[in-house]
Each structure stands twice: as C-alpha cells, then as structure tokens.
C-alpha cells in the first residue's frame, strides 16, 4: 500500500524543544512536514532545533511560545500555528508536567498545576484546533503514560491526570469523527525522569526487570509511533498504543 505524502502538511507539537517532543518534531520533519515547535521555558533549545530543521529544508519550521495553563494563550498558539502555512494537519499534545505528589501531602496547587498541564491544556488545544483539523481531515495524538493504568507510587496526581487524558482521547475520537482521528501513545520507560524526580539506579533496574524486552526504549520509538498514526493509520481512531517493551503485560 502506498504511503500518503506528508509534504507541505503542518504539525504542531507541544513541548517540542527537547527530549521526546524534539524527536517527534525531527521525525515528522524528515517525513516532509512543516513543523511548529512549541515551548514555554526551553527557549534556547527550541530555537536551536528550529535552526537545524530549517537548514535541512528552508522555511519549514517556526518557533512559538505559549503558557498552556492559560487557555487564551493556548488558543492563540493554535491560531498562529494555523496561520503560518494556512493550514493545520496534526496536533501532538506532548507537553506535560511530572513530579511527586504523595498522598497526605498533596496541595491544591499541585492538583491544579498537574491537571491543568496534563489534561485541561490538551483538551482546550484540541477544541481550538478542531475546526482547522476538520478542514484537512487531520489528526490529534495525545502522549499519555503507561502509569495511567499502572499507577506509579508517590505520583498520584500525575497518574490521575494521564488517566484522564486516556479517557479524553477516546471521547474526542467519538466527538470529532469522522473528519478528525484522535489517538494516544502510552510510553513506558523511554527517558528517565530528571532533577528532583530522578529515580535511583535500584528503581530503574526494578522497572527494567518488569519489562519483557529487558531494556528501556528511546525517543525514536515514540516518534515512529506518532508517524504511524499520522501517515499510515487512516482507519484507526480512539486507540492507545503502548510503547513500553511489554511492561503493561505485568
């Protein structure tokens, strides 16, 4: 079966300055798409990646900043993204926040911060993008997490927010069909958490031992799954694809 061309189509990837988001941007760009790189605080990395993409193909990438916890800022991001090349074909809701929230110590701030970043923002971005995506029969891809179904100890609110994103994916697939496909990708151990949320070597090893492939994945694994949903999955919607080396098997 001939793969559909992505040349001149447009993808907006939130949180795409670094880590998994940056790899998704590179992969879709290599497939021919024009890319809108969103960032909030990682300005230097975003502009560096944009320069690299434009060196490969002139005027094929732009950078846009938005604080996605602010609904109006997210709405403006969608509008500006659609105006750049006069279309929008793909929205990848990748940006999220991740930190410990132990039961008994959870604050209102932590609840609102994680829910707004990981659930509310993707919903309102999808709502704002829907008219543009419908015009191109485009697609939304939400980056969820295997811990939505297999909760991670001490990360209660994060796991709840990602479980909500799984439900949202299925709901939007029904609400926005037939013109827009909506799917999710659920990564397992791809890149280990950084900073205060870093795991001990012992904890990392325990996770690897519970993974049938006995290794962690890579950002490329997630990016290839995004490309599959964008280019090759015309009859798939409302699905969550685990990219986890089999970890969810138990």
Half-sphere exposure at residue 194, Cβ-oriented, CA atoms within 13 angstroms: 4
Pair of tokens at residue 232: 């090759």
39 belongs to the catalytic site: no
Using 50 as the pLDDT threshold, list the residues of the chain that sit under it.
Answer: 1-2
Helix (H, G, I), strand (E, B) or coil at 8: coil
C-alpha 216/C-alpha 239 separation (Å) is: 23
Q: What pLDDT score was predicted for residue 210?
A: 84
**What is the DSSP code string of 76-114?**
HHHHHHHHHTT---EEEE-------B-TTS--HHHHHHH
CB 247 within 8 A of CB 189: yes
| Cβ burial, residue 100 (10 Å; 0-12/13-18/19+) | middle
Q: What pLDDT score was predicted for residue 4?
A: 67
Exactly one of 39, 99, 109, 158 is catalytic; which is it? 158
To the question of domain 10-243 being in CATH 2.40.10.10, the answer is no
Classify residue 209 as left (phi > 0), alpha (psi -120 to 50) or beta: alpha
C-alpha 3/C-alpha 225 separation (Å) is: 15
Model confidence, pTM: 0.94
Output the furthest CA–CA distance in the chain (Å, rounded).
Answer: 55
Contacts of 217 (CB under 8 A, 6+ apart): 187, 188, 189, 190, 243, 244, 245
Pair of tokens at residue 213: 């492939």
């Amino acid at each position: 079966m001939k793969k559909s061309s992505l040349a001149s189509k447009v993808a907006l990837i939130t949180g795409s300055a670094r880590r998994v988001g940056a790899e998704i941007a590179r992969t879709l760009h290599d497939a021919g798409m024009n890319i809108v790189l969103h960032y909030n605080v990682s300005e230097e990395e975003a502009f560096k990646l944009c320069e690299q993409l434009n060196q490969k193909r002139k005027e094929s990438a732009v950078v846009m900043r938005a604080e996605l916890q602010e609904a109006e800022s997210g709405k403006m991001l969608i509008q500006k993204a659609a105006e750049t090349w006069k279309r929008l074909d793909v929205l990848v809701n990748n940006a999220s926040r991740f930190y410990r929230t132990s039961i008994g110590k959870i604050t209102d701030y932590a609840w609102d911060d994680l829910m707004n970043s990981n659930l509310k923002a993707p919903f309102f971005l999808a709502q704002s993008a829907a008219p543009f995506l419908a015009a191109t029969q485009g697609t939304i891809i939400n980056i969820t997490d295997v811990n939505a179904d297999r909760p991670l100890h001490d990360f209660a609110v994060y796991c709840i927010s990602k479980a909500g994103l799984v439900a949202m994916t299925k709901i939007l697939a029904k609400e926005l069909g037939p013109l827009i496909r909506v799917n999710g990708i659920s990564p397992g151990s791809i890149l280990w958490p950084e900073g205060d949320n870093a795991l001990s070597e012992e904890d990392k090893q325990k996770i690897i031992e519970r993974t049938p492939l006995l290794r962690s994945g890579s950002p490329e694994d997630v990016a290839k799954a995004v490309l599959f949903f964008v280019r090759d999955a015309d009859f798939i919607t409302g699905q969550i694809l685990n990219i986890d080396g089999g970890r969810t098997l138990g």
